[in-house]
Amino acid sequence: MSPGTQETARRLEGRIALITAAGSGMGRAGALRFAEAGAHVYVTDVSEAAAKEVASEIVDAGGTADGIHLDVADRQAIADVIARVGREHGRLNVLYNHAGIPGAAGLDIGDEEWALATDVNMKSAFFATSYALPLLREAAGHASIIFTSSVSGLVGSPLSPLYSMTKGGIVTLMKSLALELGPQGIRVNAICPGPIDSAMLPQFFGREPGTDTADLIDTFMANIPLGRPGQPAEIANAALFLASDESSFVTGVALPVDGGYLAK
């Protein structure tokens, strides 16, 4: 069991959760934490091997999970996975739209780069939510949608206007859905991570050729009051709170988990 398990165990007992991009990093941490809390977790990822590995890890620890290949840029694939959840369980308690990529830097961006970033970061979350809505309604009163945005969705990013645009779009999507779905008993929130110690961190800072990635990361860290990057498990803890009944009066919130970056 991971640190904090004793305090977080069984908050999601008997509930069904689906997480996108759960094969590594923050998504993996969320899948493990949700399973520890009692949920049956659909671990989806563009890497089928990674998804199945995380699901196996959950099962080996005494939980229940399915590892499924899912390319979130493929709208039909999203529909198919959610249809499977419906056939197997008839409801969905937690939809955690976590998938995201850094996207291309700057403004000189080709159509394919633009489409990939918007498809993965925004379109996938929009349609996953649309397809999952009937199943979430079946869990009304115990239904939570969680989006992964970013601090760059709340303030501008000089490194990537495209990334900021997509993550800002997630925040306004979340707020709109919170207003629409609240009367149906479905809560909707977003997590806005700051720099997290995962494979995506050097990818985000190292997109420009010739970039001194380590120097850029160090410069960014100088603006973090807590003086360090976050850990994937710290994002998972925030996600568990938003997924569970402990946040039963929380909806429409873009929650920074950023070591104080936005406090400045």
pLDDT for the residue numbered 33: 98
- Compute the distance between CA of residue 233 and CA of residue 27 in angstroms, rounded to an integer: 9
Amino acid letter, 189: N
Q: Catalytic positions, please?
A: 163
Domains, the chain, ordered by start: 9-257 (3.40.50.720)
pLDDT for the residue numbered 104: 85
pLDDT for the residue numbered 117: 94
- Compute the distance between CA of residue 212 and CA of residue 173 in angstroms, rounded to an integer: 35
Q: What would the pLDDT profile of 6-56 be if each residue is shown by its tens digit?
A: 455 689 999 999 999 999 999 999 999 999 999 999 999 999 999 999 999
Ranges under pLDDT 50 in the chain: 1-6
How far is residue 223 from each of residues 180, 195, 200, 262, measured CA to CA in Å?
A: 36, 11, 19, 9
Name the 3-class secondary structure at 145.
strand
Q: Which of 80, 82, 86 minimizes the C-alpha distance to 19? A: 82
- Compute the distance between CA of residue 31 and CA of residue 54 in angstroms, rounded to an integer: 8
Average pLDDT, the chain: 91
pTM for this entry: 0.91
Under 8 Å between Cβ of 178 and 205: no
Q: Which two tokens mark 162? A: 């495209």
pLDDT for the residue numbered 157: 78
